[in-house]
């Protein structure tokens, strides 16, 4: 009996101690109770090239008996490729919470299937936590589009780049560049301090295709509201037509006026504009005048009223020089040119005999359409003709257009004179003009001696004597009757 009681006492003393030790050992071996409580993405739908942040919240439950050591947090694709990670984040006590941000970006649009992976340990045991998420990457930001006018090889044309900011935030520090493949771009950079939300900007560039096939690429760089630099590229293939050069030229003299203008029609039948157009008039191999003409677009024409001056009558060559594409060209045509400046002709010329002199009268008539100045008419010495006083020459002066001024001249002539030459001198549009007009002598005096036809007195002598006899007889009869 005594031995049984002793054994029971020993058991009572040993068993509680064993139970307590097992419980203590169970508490020490328990791992932390950890979880991912939240994952957020900001911005929720990032645009191409824009950095976004995935914030993961890790919690160690308050009921945990151990701390949680976080070795690594990784953002990865479902395929297993890492997108971003962070390591050695320290320990998290029971009841503690930790927010871990991971930042990345994508270069293409689309839905990205990702997951957050937490690699931790507690009481020597590895713990892995996973959290799936989806990120939608959109084009976003300012949108870029390119349009090019009709293009011809070697010819300048305009490429227009449109930047439209449909975002809620302003795009700052905007820089736009345009580059070409087989296409030359003049001054390919544009800058703007900002493009506010909802605004659209157009940027024009001058481009020149070198071949029939090429491309242009617009690159837009800007800063977002978050301070990120974003790059957007847009490419446009360009098909250019081969250069077709065809220029027509027509010219006509406008009738009327002293120096009538020339109406010139230049027609561009080609597919490229004509630039640096110069219109020239050439007379006797000399360029008498020239004029620059505005560029002529493809498949269009331009009419030019071309004034010329101091051009003699004759053929006038009208010439057009131009550039189209990368080449130079020339077309020309010839028109008969007739001027009508002031010109003096003698009209109403007559003469009277005064002994051995002829008194000449007439008019210096201006048959042109401009005034003539310093008109002088004079008798030209010649065979049987000499200038005589008092009017050897006569200063007429100015004769208005379509008007006349009378003059008087004297010339001494002998029996050998058949005509009286009269010189006309004047200034027309500042140019000295000279001409000679001959006045025929119709009643030349006969030489002395009997007439070769009768070899005796002239019949006029008998006729005059008869008249005298009749007068004497009539007078005598009248006196006789009065007696």
Three-state secondary structure along the chain? CHHHHHHHHHHHHHHHHHHHHHHHHHHHCCCCCEEEEEEEEECCCCECCCCEEEEEEEEECCCCCCCEEEEEEEEEECCCCEEEEEEEEEEECCCCEEEEEEEECCCCCEEEEEEEEEEEEECCEEEEEEEEEEEEEECCCEEEEEEECCCECCCCEEEEEEEEECCCCCEEEEEEEEEEECEEEECCEEEEEEECCCCEEEEEEEEEECCCEEEEEEEEEEECCCCCEEEEEEEEEEECECCCCCEEEEEEECCCCCCCCEEEEEEECCCCCEEEEEEEEEECCEEEEEEEECCECCCEEEEEEECCCCCCCEEEEEEEEEEECCEEEEEEEEEEECCCCCCEEEEEEEEEEECCEEEEEEEEEECCCCCEEEEEEEECCECCEEECCCCCEEEEEEECCCCEEEEEEEEEECCCCCEEEEEEEEEECCEEEEEEEEEECCCCCCCCCCCCCCCCCCHHHHHHHHHHHHHHHHHHHHHHHHC
Is residue 91 assigned to a domain? yes
For the chain, what is the mean pLDDT? 83
Residues 333 and 348 in one domain: no
Residues 324 and 416 in one domain: no
Tell whether the model's pLDDT for residue 1 goes beyond 70: no
Closest CA to 290 of 268, 272, 317, 266: 317
Half-sphere exposure of 377 (CA within 13 A, CB side): 29
Is residue 156 assigned to a domain? yes
pLDDT digits (tens, 9 = 90+) for 452-469: 333 434 444 444 444 444
Mean pLDDT of 249-257: 83
The whole-angstrom separation of Cα 147 and Cα 27 is: 74
- Please report the pLDDT score of residue 108 as a whole number: 85
Please, are residues 416 and 383 in contact by the beta-carbon 8 Å criterion?
Answer: yes
Across 75-89, 127-141, 177-191, the highest mean pLDDT is recorded for 177-191
The CATH number assigned to the domain holding 168 equals 2.60.40.10
Query: At which of 290, 315, 337 does a domain end?
Result: 337
Is residue 314 assigned to a domain? yes
Mean pLDDT of 173-184: 95
Tell whether the model's pLDDT for residue 155 goes beyond 80: yes
CA distances to 237, 244, 248, 290 from 299, rounded to whole Å, are 25, 11, 11, 24
Is residue 449 assigned to a domain? no
Residues 353 and 330 in one domain: no
Range with the poorest average pLDDT among 75-84, 110-119, 205-214: 75-84
- Please report the pLDDT score of residue 65 as a whole number: 85
357: domain range? 344-440
- Please report the pLDDT score of residue 431 as a whole number: 83
The whole-angstrom separation of Cα 380 and Cα 264 is: 46
Is residue 158 assigned to a domain? yes
Residues 396 and 427 in one domain: yes
Residues 133 and 43 in one domain: yes
Residues 302 and 359 in one domain: no
Residues 64 and 108 in one domain: yes
Query: At which of 317, 337, 357 does a domain end?
Result: 337
Given pLDDT bands bounded at 50, 70 and 90, which one contains residue 400?
Answer: very high
Given pLDDT bands bounded at 50, 70 and 90, which one contains residue 261?
Answer: confident
- Please report the pLDDT score of residue 257 as a whole number: 65
* 430 compared with 134, residue with greater pLDDT: 134
Given pLDDT bands bounded at 50, 70 and 90, which one contains residue 26?
Answer: very low
Is residue 229 assigned to a domain? yes
What is the percentage of the chain residues whose pLDDT exceeds 90? 55
Given pLDDT bands bounded at 50, 70 and 90, which one contains residue 24?
Answer: very low
Residues 132 and 149 in one domain: no
Is residue 121 assigned to a domain? yes
The CATH number assigned to the domain holding 398 equals 2.60.40.1230
Mean pLDDT of 144-150: 92
Query: At which of 110, 137, 164 does a domain end?
Result: 137
Residues 42 and 124 in one domain: yes
Is residue 208 assigned to a domain? yes
Range with the poorest average pLDDT among 189-193, 356-360, 368-372: 368-372
Q: What is the number of structural domains in the chain?
A: 4
- Please report the pLDDT score of residue 8 as a whole number: 37
pLDDT digits (tens, 9 = 90+) for 405-418: 999 999 999 888 88
Tell whether the model's pLDDT for residue 15 goes beyond 70: no
Mean pLDDT of 13-41: 60
């Amino acid at each position: 009996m005594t031995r049984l009681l002793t054994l029971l006492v020993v058991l009572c003393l040993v068993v509680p101690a064993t139970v307590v030790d097992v419980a203590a050992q169970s508490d020490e071996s328990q791992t932390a109770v950890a979880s991912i409580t939240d994952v957020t993405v900001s911005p929720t739908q990032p645009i191409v090239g824009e950095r976004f942040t995935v914030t993961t919240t890790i919690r160690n439950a308050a009921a945990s008996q151990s701390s949680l050591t976080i070795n690594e947090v990784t953002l990865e694709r479902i395929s297993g490729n890492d997108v971003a990670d962070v390591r050695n984040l320290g320990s998290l006590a029971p009841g503690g919470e930790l927010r871990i941000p991971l930042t990345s970006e994508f270069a293409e649009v689309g839905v990205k299937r990702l997951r957050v992976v937490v690699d931790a340990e507690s009481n020597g045991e590895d713990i892995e936590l996973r959290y799936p998420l989806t990120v939608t990457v959109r084009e976003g930001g300012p949108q870029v589009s390119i349009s090019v006018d009709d293009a011809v090889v070697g010819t300048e044309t305009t490429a227009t780049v449109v930047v439209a900011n449909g975002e809620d935030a302003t795009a700052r520090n905007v820089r736009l560049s345009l580059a070409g493949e087989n296409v030359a771009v003049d001054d390919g950079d544009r800058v703007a301090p900002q493009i506010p939300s909802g605004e659209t900007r157009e940027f024009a560039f001058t481009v020149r295709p070198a071949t029939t096939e090429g491309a242009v690429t617009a690159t837009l760089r800007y800063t977002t509201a978050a301070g990120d630099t974003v790059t957007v590229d847009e490419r446009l293939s360009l098909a250019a037509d081969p250069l077709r050069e065809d220029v027509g030229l027509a010219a006509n003299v406008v009738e009327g006026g002293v120096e009538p203008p020339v109406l010139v029609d230049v027609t561009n039948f080609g597919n490229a504009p004509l630039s640096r157009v110069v219109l020239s008039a050439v007379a006797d191999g000399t360029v008498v005048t020239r004029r620059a003409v505005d560029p002529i677009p493809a498949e269009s024409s331009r009419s030019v009223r071309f004034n010329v001056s101091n051009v003699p009558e004759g053929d006038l060559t009208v010439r057009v020089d131009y550039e189209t594409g990368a080449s130079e060209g020339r077309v020309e045509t010839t028109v008969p040119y007739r001027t009508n400046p002031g010109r003096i002709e003698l009209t109403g010329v007559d003469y009277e005999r005064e002994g051995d002199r002829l008194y000449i009268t007439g008019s210096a008539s201006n048959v042109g359409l401009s005034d003539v100045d310093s008109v002088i008419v004079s008798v030209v010495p010649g065979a049987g003709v000499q200038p005589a006083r008092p009017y050897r020459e006569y200063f007429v002066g100015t004769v208005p257009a379509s008007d006349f001024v009378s003059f008087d001249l004297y010339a001494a002539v002998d029996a050998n004179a058949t005509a009286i030459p009269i010189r006309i001198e004047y200034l027309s549009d500042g140019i000295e003009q000279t001409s000679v007009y001959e006045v025929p002598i119709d009643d030349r005096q006969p030489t002395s001696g009997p007439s070769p036809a009768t070899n005796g007195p002239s019949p006029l002598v008998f006729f005059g004597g008869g008249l005298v006899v009749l007068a004497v007889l009539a007078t005598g009869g009248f006196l006789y009757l009065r007696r």
